[in-house]
Amino acid sequence: MKLIIIGGGFGGLRLAQKLSNKPGFDITLIDRFNHHQFQPLFYQVATSGLDASNISFPLRKVFHKSKNVHFRIAQVEQINTSSHKVMTSIGEFDYDTLVIATGADTNFFGNQHLIDHALPMKSTVEALRLRYKLLENFEKAVNAKDEKELQPLMNIVVVGGGPTGVELSGAIADMRRFVLHKDYPELDFSKMKIYLLEGSGKTLSAMSASSSADSRKYLEKLGVTVMTDTVVKDYDGTTVLLQNNETIETKLVIWAAGIKGNVPEGINKDLIARGNRIKVDKHCRIENLPNIYAIGDVAYLEDAAYPNGYPQVAPVAMQQADLIAKNLLHPEAEKEFVYNNQGSMATVGRNLAVVDLAKPRLHFGGLFAWMIWMSIHLMLILGVKNRFFVFLNWLYSYFTYDQNLRLIFKEPENIV
């Protein structure tokens, strides 16, 4: 079987690993990056807590001992479902079976001003860009001539109160508490404002009521201004315009308010559901395309417990990959997908996190939850070396109260 997997994220990588060295499979894994990115820790790269290489792992290295997995770095341009071909920036690939695991990208909801001026964080490159912008603003603030020029440089607006927005806001608040006043003694950081804007009535709305309440309490304790039921209407690079016509002056808006599936060209528009996700059946096959599957953030599958589709999180993608691997290996005993929800978690700041366990249904907050969060994320990172350096960085930061990677790797003339 010529199996092509598009995407080296949690789902695509897991599937390739499960079928590695299995007889009867010739696998080509295609991704536009040459590395797997551990997305849950992007925010720590953005806030100088971790180096980008600590959360990235070369895809070719994963398959050093594999005889049937071939990796190609390419941009997928189109899928021809009738001729069973994938057209890419480096040529065409034939397939017998295709798995689309292209994940999701930032959803700006069609607002061109937000696309132009707000910063997303859906890749390592974007996380680094955000780090540089954050640090550059403080470098400019040191040279600000008056309050009107200074305050927008000191204000930070995070849009979206999900895990990404909550974790980013808390990490930036920790930078303000422990680090920034030492780096920039000329600045008065009591004037630095961190805003977290959320369109719904609570932060972490997908988690339990206890986690939502605790996350808001922790953020406010850290000095973050949490504004729920608040929708961003526009942003021109200097002024955030809210739907109620109030404004916030800022030179940095971090957009974590929505995602949309990365659907390759060639998929029938009738098969696209809400959130730009591809409709699949219980076996993760795309409707009317029996030899094409979609998994992870780009796949849309409903059941009674998830009427709006499964959550776009790594465990769903990995469990769907496991199912497809089993079904391809044993087609005579094909099974349907059932999501085993083990819970969810989010960290807010130093010694502060929230954890919801599904079975038994339990909620933890504070230091114990923070330790659970760190342990699980450490185990999920690819590579012993990466785990070691992440742990070392966390240990160093914990005892020194310092994030030591505040580096701007750009040409000097572009810094200020």
- 109-152 pLDDT per residue, tens: 989 999 999 999 999 999 999 999 999 999 999 999 899 999 99
pTM over 0.85: yes
**Cα separation, 59 vs 7, whole angstroms:** 11
| Residue 104 structure tokens | 């999701």
- Say if residues 134 and 45 touch (Cβ distance below 8 Å): no
Q: Supply the DSSP symbol for 252.
A: -
CB atoms within 10 A of CB 221: 13
Tokens 């990796």 found at: 71
Low-confidence ranges of the chain (pLDDT < 70): 412-416
Q: What is the pLDDT of residue 122?
A: 93
Q: What is the tally of helices (H) and strands (E) in the chain?
A: 12, 26
| Residue 108 structure tokens | 């700006």
Burial, 326: exposed, middle or buried (Cβ in 10 Å; 0-12, 13-18, 19+)? middle
Burial, 412: exposed, middle or buried (Cβ in 10 Å; 0-12, 13-18, 19+)? exposed
Tokens 């008065």 found at: 188
Q: Supply the DSSP symbol for 203.
A: S
Domain 112-257+351-414 has CATH 3.30.70.20: no
Please tell me if the domain spanning 2-32+74-106+259-333 has the same topology as the one spanning 112-257+351-414. Answer: yes
Largest CA distance in the chain: 73
CATH class of 2-32+74-106+259-333: alpha beta
Tokens 């859906």 found at: 122
- Say if residues 181 and 225 touch (Cβ distance below 8 Å): no
Q: What is the pLDDT of residue 202?
A: 95
Q: What is the pLDDT of residue 127?
A: 95
Length of the chain: 416
Q: What is the pLDDT of residue 144?
A: 93
What percent of the chain is helix, strand and coil (3-state, nearest 5)? 35, 25, 35
CA atoms within 13 A on the CB side of 233: 9
- Say if residues 232 and 242 touch (Cβ distance below 8 Å): yes
The domain segmentation of the chain, as residue ranges, is 2-32+74-106+259-333, 112-257+351-414
Q: What is the pLDDT of residue 114?
A: 96
| Residue 111 structure tokens | 């607002």
Q: At what angle do helices 314-329 and 10-19 cross, to 10 degrees?
A: 30
Q: What is the pLDDT of residue 4?
A: 98
**Cα separation, 344 vs 73, whole angstroms:** 32
**Cα separation, 321 vs 315, whole angstroms:** 10
How confident is the model over 59-87, as pLDDT tens digits?
A: 999 999 999 999 999 999 999 999 999 99
Q: What is the pLDDT of residue 414?
A: 54
